[in-house]
Amino acid sequence: MPLSDIKAKSLKGGVKPNGEKTNKPYRVTDEKGLYIEVTPKGGKRWRFKYRIGRKEKLLSLGLYPDVSLKAARQKRDEYRTLVADGIDPSIIRKAEKLTVGGQGSFEAVAREWHTKFSANWSKSHATKTIENLQNNIFPWLGAMPINDIKPTELLAALRRIESRGAIYTARRVLGVCSSVFKYAITTGQAERNQAADLVGAIPPTKTKHHASITDPKEVGGLMRALQDYRGSFVTATALKLSPLFFVRPSELREAEWSEVDVDNAEWRIPARRMKMKVVHIVPLSPQAIEIIESIRPLTGRGKYIFPSARSETRAMSNNTVNAALRRIGYTKEEMTAHGFRSMASTLLNEQGWNADAIERQLAHSEGNGVRAAYNYAQHLPERKRMMTAWADYLDGLAKGADVIPINRAGNK
C-alpha cells in the first residue's frame, strides 16, 4: 500500500509500524522502488531501489520532511526514466558531486567547445553536431567528468548508434568526441584523448553517391524536360539554373539578389553561406543572365531570388528542386538536385578542362583554409570561359545536336 504524508509523519525510530521494537533501521515501502528508511533515533531518509542489468542499486533522495513525499516521487520518476533508457542514475549523481555547476563534465566541455567553434560553421552543420551529441552521447556520458571517461564507455555509446545501422553517424560522432577531448586537453580539463583509442573500431561506410546523369544524350533529354517544366515559375527558374551553376542545392535556393552582379556577370556567394566558409564566385553565362533577368520582375523586390511559396521572407524549401525532378519523371535513383554537380564534374573533366579550375568552380575544400580564403578567385578567367562553354554545350544537347565541346575543338 503506497505511503501517505500522515503515515510518513507517524513513523518513529526504534518501533516498526506493527509495534515491534527494533534497534536497527527499518524501511517502509511506497511504490515503484521508493521507500523511506527510519533510523533508531527517528531520522527518515528517502531511498530509491533500481536495477541496471543484473545489479541492484540504491540512491538516497534526501531527508524527510525536507524532501516531501511528492518531491521524492518526482525524483524517483525521473530516475526511472533514466533506467528505462539504460542510463545509471548513480553516474549522474556522481558527476553532479564531482563537478561544480556542470563544469568539467563531458557535456559542459562539449557545449563550451561547440560554442567557441560553431561560429565559423554553417548553421546546419552546427545544429547537426550538437543534436548528434544530445541524442547519442549526453544521455550516457554527458554528466560524467570528462577526465574519468574510459575508451570502453565511449565505445559502448558508439555501439548503440552502430546497432541501429547508423554507421556514418557513429563515425561522425566519434570524430566530434575526439575534437571535444582535444579541446579539453588544451584547456586543462582532460589528460588524454580517449577517442583516439577507438580509431578503426567503427567499420567504414559504403560511399553513397548522389544520383546523376552523365551520358550526353540523356543529359540532352534532361535539359529539354527542364525547359518544359509547367509548375511554379520560381521553381522552373531554379531548375533551369541548376545545371548552369552546379552549386550545392542550399547555395542555389538561398541565393539573394544582393549577391548577383549582372553588369560584371558574376554571382558572389558570401563565405557565411558556403560549406567551406570561403567566398565563391559563379561566373554568369549569357544564358544564366537571361534566366535571372526573367524572374527579376517577380521576385526582384525581395531578398531571395527563389523565395518560399508561403513567405517571401524565407528561401525556397530544400526539397523543391528534387520534388520538381520527380514531377518531370526522374526518380531519386536517376537524378537529384545535388547530381547536377556530378554531371558537370564528369563531363567537364572528360572535355579536358583544367581539373583545378573545375574543382575551384565546384567549391571543393582546400587543405589550407587560409590559402583557400585568398584563392577564391583562382583560375577565374578560365572558369568564365568554361561556364560559358558549358552553357553552350547544354544548349546544344537540348536541341539534340551532335555537340563538340569547345575544349575538344582546340580552343583551350
**Active-site residue, from 364, 399, 408, 412:** 364
Cα–Cα nearest to 72, from 44, 92, 53, 96: 44
Set of cell numbers at residue 273:
553561406
**Active-site residue, from 49, 275, 303, 379:** 275
Residue 135 CA, distance from chain mean position: 11
**Active-site residue, from 159, 217, 314, 374:** 374
44 is catalytic: no
Residue 14 exposed, middle or buried by CB count within 10 Å (0-12, 13-18, 19+): middle
360 is catalytic: no
Cα–Cα nearest to 382, from 406, 350, 346: 406
Q: What is the DSSP string of 373-401?
A: HH-TTTTHHHHHHHHHHHHHHHHHHHTT-
Set of cell numbers at residue 347:
563531363
**Active-site residue, from 44, 73, 248, 273:** 248
79 is catalytic: no
Q: How far apart are the first and last CA of the chain?
A: 89
364 is catalytic: yes
Phi and psi torsions of 367, nearest 5°: -55, -40
383 is catalytic: no
**Torsion sign (Cα): 136, 138, 141, 147:** positive
**Active-site residue, from 111, 240, 273, 341:** 341
Q: Which H or E run includes 294?
A: helix 286-299
**Active-site residue, from 75, 172, 338, 360:** 338
Phi and psi torsions of 111, nearest 5°: -70, -35
209 is catalytic: no
Q: Cite the active site residues.
A: 248, 275, 338, 341, 364, 374
